[in-house]
Structure 1
Amino acid sequence: MSDAIAYERVGDVAVLIAQNPPVNALGLDVRAGLVAGIERAEADEGVRAVLIYGDGSTWFAGADIREFGKTPKEPYLPDVCNRIEACPLIVVSAMHGTALGGGFEIAMSTHYRIAVPKARMGLPEVHLGLIPGATGTQRLPRLTGVPAALDLVTSGRQINAKEALSLGVIDRIEEGTPRDIGLAYAQELLDAGAPRRAVSELPAPEPVDFDAAYDAALKKSRGQISPAYGVRAVQAACELPFAEGVAEERRLFLELMGTDQRQGMIHAFFSERAVGKLPELKGVEPRGIAAIGVIGGGTMGAGIATAALLSGLKVVMLEMTPEAAEAARGRITGNLGGALKRGKISQDTHDDMVNKALTLTTDYAGLSDVDLVIEAVFEDMGVKKQVFTQLDEHCKPGCVLASNTSYLDIDEIAACTKRPEDVIGLHFFSPAHVMKLLEVVVADKTAPDVVATGFALGKKLGKISVRAGVCDGFIGNRILKTYRTAADHMVLDGATPYQIDKALTDMGFAMGPFAVGDLAGLDIGWATRKRLAPHRDPRERVPTYIDKVCEAGNFGQKTGKGYYIYEAGKRAGVPNPEVLELIEAERAERGITPRDFSDDEIRRRYMAAMVNEGAKVLEEGIARRPLDIDMVFLFGYGFPRYHGGPMKWADLQGLPALLDDIRSYAKEDPYFWQPAPLLEQLVAEGRTFDDLNKDAA
């Protein structure tokens, strides 16, 4: 027997206890221990049933991530599942905590299943670019029917015990410890003479239109292929004998294992866990935060306040007038109402947040007791400095002073205070109570414990926090400006905004850059262009047609017209013909003869600009690791997760070919297409961006 699985005899029941903390992951020792435990129970005279449960906080929570990327060793998990099910004794699962992936597949291979009310289960492999590979797609539809199985396999969502019972996944819910409820249930089954009940021996489920389901899965996932593969695996459960269905599941699983999408999603999985771990913060204690202040109650400020309230913090909202403060309360209340409607909070919690945890003020003195304050006012350096001068005067010593600026220099903002060590950038993404990204912008004089406090706040708010240095736009918006410029150049040279948007949504982006501009508000980019105009290099190509759109008062979705025209009540727009007329006029004025762009060329140029600027951001230390850039774009800019992020995408494409493309583009525009020295160095050394991640680990 393995140390990871303990064996105990209780009357007629052999008890197998998983002891592989912290989550009883299904590593080699656990798999071998389960097989050995079943064999021992079968040989143990008088044993009539086997109970399997997990010690500690959970059932088997899934595969052992330490084995990811390594050659698996026998016994393989599908064989373990089949061996458990083949046991001639009654085998019972008693589940608590989470039964995910392989853990759920183990449970379905037992003959009876009982769970505590708070147990959760699911098949999340789709989020790693895979499908369940240990019989899950074959057993689940035999229990639930095809529609429910397709939902769970293609979405990767978790279900609670109540839903699992209603779907037929488990047989009973009981309060108590898994050991106690499991032993009682096993004894009850024995006393009733219950038969051994193998899921694989149940009738094949009724089929559906699998071609339609395949197409729907592909469309919903915006090109991610693993959900569609999941459809085909479930189809095999309907059309093939069980053993052949398992073989087809395995074939599909191994095919996905060899894809770039799987590599991208595994990279995203590990990077998400690594991005907040900074060597510089090891042993650094964050400052305590119980109450925060938020200055500015517009969409962004209200979103930040909402996120803070939902995480249990007290919030003081500062606005300039009582009317503006009440409007801010209305926005926050509306946001919290959405959480109430979705069942995230109770009515009592909602009321406490609005009436007790939230305080409105029109006086900076109202911020005197907060532990951290975030300004979310107009993106203007003069306005920001006025705010921070007031904060310096009114906030208590040790209070962290944070700016939510998207572009502006945190060092310059900090310099207007007497405590620059307390100043930091906390760049949220709108809507701040929904979007998961937080850029923690570290200025020259920011104290280490203030940086730690920024990350601690991000964790409390449920954000993916990324360290960024100071430059115009930090990580995300600086790179965005560059690839957006590449898109603007393609429009001047012959593409349309609508072709570019479609080419990128076809690649898996949630939206194209011009639709994003409409969503964010075209006035933001207009203000930025005007701010940068006095310092612009004469070689820079900047289109003027969109300024004319803004001058006419058309800022995108909020005004009903921008690159697209939006009908009331509809989020999607239709192309604005006036934009095409303005583009044609500007081409004529510049003497540009438009040419055709293929969708592939659009995507290649767009991505090359993104990666090239990302390499410059790394070289300057604005981002510490390529994975930091990847996480910024996955969580803040709608980058398709299955590509792993722009820097991982570049590795998968091959850096030498990408550099060759950039050099070829530079022949047309040597000012814009300047190859990043870091990219050239990596290619010369035969290295990748992921090598830099490993160097920094």
Structure 2
Amino acid sequence: MADIPFSKSISARLRDGVFVVVIDNPPVNALSADVRSGLMAALDHTASLDAATGIVLTGAGSTFIGGADIKEFGKPPVEPMLPDVIERIETFEKPVVAAVNGAALGGGCEVALACHGRIAGEKASFGLPEVKLGIVPGAGGTQRLPRLVGLVAAIELVGTGRPVKAAEAVTLGLADGVATAPVGAAIALVHEASGKPLRRTGMIGVPSTDPTTVSAAEAKVLARARGQSAPAEAIRLVKAAGELDLRRGLAAERATFLRLRDSSESAALRHVFFAERAAGKVEGLDKASSRRIETVAVVGTGLMGSGIAVAALTSGHSVIALEQSPEAAAGGRARIAETLDKSVRSARFTADGRAECLARLQTTAEAEELVKADLVIEAVFDDLTVKTDLFRKLDGIVRADAILATNTSYLNPDAIAAATADPSRVVGLHFFSPANVMRLVEVVDCVKTAPEVLASALAFVKRLGKLPVVCGVTEGFIGNRIFSAYRREAEFMLEDGALPQEIDAALEAYGFPMGIFAVNDMAGLEIAWARRKRQAATRDPAARYVEIADRLCEAGRLGHKIGRGWYAYPDGKRTIDPEVTAVIEAARAAKNIAPRIFTPAEIMSRLLKAMVDEGTALLTDGIAARPGDIDVVMINGYGFPAHRGGPMFAAEQNKGEPHA
């Protein structure tokens, strides 16, 4: 029997007495109006087709259904609406089984939940990530998921948007089984269910759960929300599933979805979604072919280098880690192994995966081994002489087609590239620590970087599962340059009357996970101190300069690791230190500054203005290509709250006047 088309995106074929309906709407099989109408037509056809025992729903390509069509947000609704399609599936008189061949996300997961059975392919995943867009599921996700997996798991999954892979889905009760050939297994499940009472998810009772356990799960999710409202709304709806019948639960969910969809929070998160998709795109670069990168060398295996090595290993690369001595190389291997062990202990990685990674890891003190590398990333001490000497040495070792990447945070990569025989193969890859965890990588397009080298670097970062943002050469690149600007503004406010804990409290109330002075303590004050001392000779004597941080460093207050910085850390806990207050007051007195009171709103207004002003300068100078790139960097690298959209978005939304 030939395929029967029901719309541009939906076709079906009778196979072993079952109508196999295929969703083919590339690139992610989004639930567009065409998909929705096609599904309805296929259901109508199957209802009248005596030869069909039931339906199997599956996706073409590597995705089942990637979610709702976000392009339809803000536009007039087009019938049929997704809740109507899902209700039709759940109430269908013949068995409907989802053969989840790949990602079933958002509306795609809601479609799968409404089916009478779910078979997961080996690469399947299930998730309701709507909270990441400032909304909640709008087609039954909060009501049907807890009926299958219970309140605790549903609170965590819906409240965080975390996806689950096939094996976990089966353990939770979200999927009925895993199969190498999910369509065939789904057909078998249709035949098994035929003639029997169908398991309609919405009719299943929510399993009873200890209220204490539910409260603990709720508290854990809300602790991560940091001011975002969607997670709390999602939790409320999940809990309502245990109290309301399906009809009333769905009505409450839909009303909440529509209200949040039109909120400023959702607008900000949608901006972030599209900004992340645009990040890393360079005009004209699609014409450049990227080089194959399979073997990655990492020079230096400290915290940053070992993190980069782990990121490369877990994404399937072979890694050569170079150190200065056999003993240091052995220590580097131990650090990398321990990082992998932590991933196994936290269930983010398997023991077999760890063993495979270590089998692809070579640690050595022999630089000549780097001849096998397609890409060399240096992660040595951030000193220009150290890095340029290293690159000169690498010039005589690595292959002519190998790419050289510097992980410098503040140094000029053009100066490092100039030390090589071929600057065109040098690119900046600025990872954020810990590199195996942090998603952001600033990909620095140096003045002589060849297009294919830049394209290769971007492809490599994406293969790591990270988010690349391309930037030009400037001290601190995008992120650290903006961080320096608002840290400077924070220090001005210290002199003028604010205290570290007041500034940090304002940032945390705005949604940052940690205030700027607490962040400085975590990073260590000596790094910025060394940089300030290097710049002292060229600093404009007329420019305002705050010496408070210098006085703290001179007093040995270098941050959390030694128990004293902007704060004191008795027993590891951050506390306000009167000694710091005294240093600040002395600095004010030395300049005859009469301190004044700052409100949290004024603090945030000044910090945001500093971010936006520096971001505008980066755009003017051509260092950043788009305002969204700046927002993505600040959100993913510096903790700017995503539900506020980033500093540039916030400024635009408030007519150029960012506020708290």
TM surpasses 0.5: yes
Matched, 1:24 2:29: yes
Counterpart position of 2:259: 255
Counterpart position of 1:639: 640
Please tell me whether the aligned partners of residues 296 and 374 of structure 2 are also in contact (alpha carbons under 8 angstroms).
yes
Deviation at 1:83, TM superposition (A): 2.0
Please tell me whether the aligned partners of residues 562 and 576 of structure 1 are also in contact (alpha carbons under 8 angstroms).
no
Aligned residue for 2:11, secondary structure, equals strand
Counterpart position of 2:385: 382
1:264-279 correspondence to structure 2 within 5 Å? 264-279=268-283
Aligned counterparts of 1:552 and 1:162: Cα–Cα separation in 2 = 54
Cα offsets for 1:299-354 (capped at 9, x unmatched): 22222223223333333333333443333333223223223434555545545644
Number of residue pairs the alignment of both structures matches: 653
Counterpart position of 1:605: 606
1:121-520 correspondence to structure 2 within 5 Å? 121-170=126-175, 172-173=176-177, 175-190=179-194, 193-203=195-205, 208=211, 217-347=221-351, 350-351=354-355, 353-354=357-358, 357-361=361-365, 363-520=366-523
**Which residue identity lines up with residue 652 of structure 2 in the other structure?**
D
Aligned residue for 1:574, secondary structure, equals coil
Aligned residue for 1:94, secondary structure, equals strand
Question: What value does the CA root-mean-square deviation take over the aligned residues?
Answer: 2.6
Shift of the 377–167 alpha-carbon distance from structure 1 to 2, 3 Å rule, reads: closer
Deviation at 1:583, TM superposition (A): 0.6
Aligned counterparts of 1:81 and 1:498: Cα–Cα separation in 2 = 51
Shift of the 246–532 alpha-carbon distance from structure 1 to 2, 3 Å rule, reads: same
Aligned counterparts of 2:350 and 2:96: Cα–Cα separation in 1 = 39
Shift of the 401–262 alpha-carbon distance from structure 1 to 2, 3 Å rule, reads: same
**Which residue identity lines up with residue 380 of structure 1 in the other structure?**
D
Gaps of 5+ in 2: 1-5
The more displaced of 274-283 and 477-486 is 274-283
Cα offsets for 1:42-79 (capped at 9, x unmatched): 23346553433334434323223443443331111011
Aligned counterparts of 1:541 and 1:413: Cα–Cα separation in 2 = 31
Gaps of 5+ in 1: 663-697
**Which residue identity lines up with residue 153 of structure 1 in the other structure?**
V
Aligned residue for 2:319, secondary structure, equals strand
Which of 5, 10, 13 is the equivalent residue of 1:5? 10
Counterpart position of 1:575: 576
**Which residue identity lines up with residue 289 of structure 1 in the other structure?**
I
Aligned counterparts of 1:93 and 1:368: Cα–Cα separation in 2 = 49
Aligned counterparts of 1:205 and 1:353: Cα–Cα separation in 2 = 40
Aligned counterparts of 1:280 and 1:12: Cα–Cα separation in 2 = 50
Aligned residue for 1:565, secondary structure, equals coil
Shift of the 240–334 alpha-carbon distance from structure 1 to 2, 3 Å rule, reads: closer
Shift of the 8–232 alpha-carbon distance from structure 1 to 2, 3 Å rule, reads: same
Aligned counterparts of 1:198 and 1:311: Cα–Cα separation in 2 = 39
Counterpart position of 1:34: 39
Matched, 1:51 2:56: yes
**Which residue identity lines up with residue 75 of structure 2 in the other structure?**
K
Please tell me whether the aligned partners of residues 146 and 154 of structure 2 are also in contact (alpha carbons under 8 angstroms).
yes
Deviation at 1:221, TM superposition (A): 0.8
Aligned counterparts of 1:322 and 1:174: Cα–Cα separation in 2 = 46
Please tell me whether the aligned partners of residues 166 and 178 of structure 2 are also in contact (alpha carbons under 8 angstroms).
no
Cα offsets for 1:503-554 (capped at 9, x unmatched): 1112111211111111111001101111111122223222222212212333
**Which residue identity lines up with residue 565 of structure 1 in the other structure?**
A
Aligned counterparts of 2:216 and 2:292: Cα–Cα separation in 1 = 53
Aligned counterparts of 1:348 and 1:79: Cα–Cα separation in 2 = 44
The more displaced of 414-423 and 40-49 is 40-49
Cα offsets for 1:136-164 (capped at 9, x unmatched): 21222233332222222112122234443
Please tell me whether the aligned partners of residues 98 and 112 of structure 2 are also in contact (alpha carbons under 8 angstroms).
yes
Aligned counterparts of 1:369 and 1:9: Cα–Cα separation in 2 = 52
**Which residue identity lines up with residue 614 of structure 2 in the other structure?**
E
Deviation at 1:356, TM superposition (A): 5.4
**Which residue identity lines up with residue 632 of structure 2 in the other structure?**
M
Aligned residue for 1:317, secondary structure, equals strand
Counterpart position of 1:87: 92
Shift of the 478–33 alpha-carbon distance from structure 1 to 2, 3 Å rule, reads: same
Aligned counterparts of 1:368 and 1:36: Cα–Cα separation in 2 = 60
Please tell me whether the aligned partners of residues 549 and 562 of structure 1 are also in contact (alpha carbons under 8 angstroms).
yes
TM-score scaled to structure 1, two decimals? Answer: 0.87
Which of 106, 113, 117 is the equivalent residue of 1:108? 113
Shift of the 601–249 alpha-carbon distance from structure 1 to 2, 3 Å rule, reads: same
Counterpart position of 2:565: 562
Deviation at 1:613, TM superposition (A): 0.4
Shift of the 337–7 alpha-carbon distance from structure 1 to 2, 3 Å rule, reads: closer
Aligned counterparts of 1:539 and 1:350: Cα–Cα separation in 2 = 56
Deviation at 1:487, TM superposition (A): 0.7
Deviation at 1:447, TM superposition (A): 1.8
Shift of the 502–391 alpha-carbon distance from structure 1 to 2, 3 Å rule, reads: same
Identity fraction in percent: 46
Counterpart position of 2:3: none
Counterpart position of 1:62: 67
**Which residue identity lines up with residue 229 of structure 2 in the other structure?**
I
TM-score scaled to structure 2, two decimals? Answer: 0.92
Shift of the 401–50 alpha-carbon distance from structure 1 to 2, 3 Å rule, reads: closer
Counterpart position of 1:682: none
Aligned residue for 2:64, secondary structure, equals coil
Deviation at 1:558, TM superposition (A): 2.1
Deviation at 1:575, TM superposition (A): 2.3
Cα offsets for 1:605-632 (capped at 9, x unmatched): 1111001100001000011111111121
Deviation at 1:230, TM superposition (A): 0.6
Shift of the 41–375 alpha-carbon distance from structure 1 to 2, 3 Å rule, reads: closer
Aligned residue for 1:539, secondary structure, equals coil
Aligned counterparts of 2:13 and 2:312: Cα–Cα separation in 1 = 48
**Which residue identity lines up with residue 545 of structure 2 in the other structure?**
V
Please tell me whether the aligned partners of residues 404 and 426 of structure 2 are also in contact (alpha carbons under 8 angstroms).
yes
Please tell me whether the aligned partners of residues 122 and 180 of structure 2 are also in contact (alpha carbons under 8 angstroms).
no
Aligned counterparts of 1:211 and 1:185: Cα–Cα separation in 2 = 37
Deviation at 1:360, TM superposition (A): 1.0
Aligned residue for 1:639, secondary structure, equals coil
Please tell me whether the aligned partners of residues 567 and 573 of structure 1 are also in contact (alpha carbons under 8 angstroms).
yes
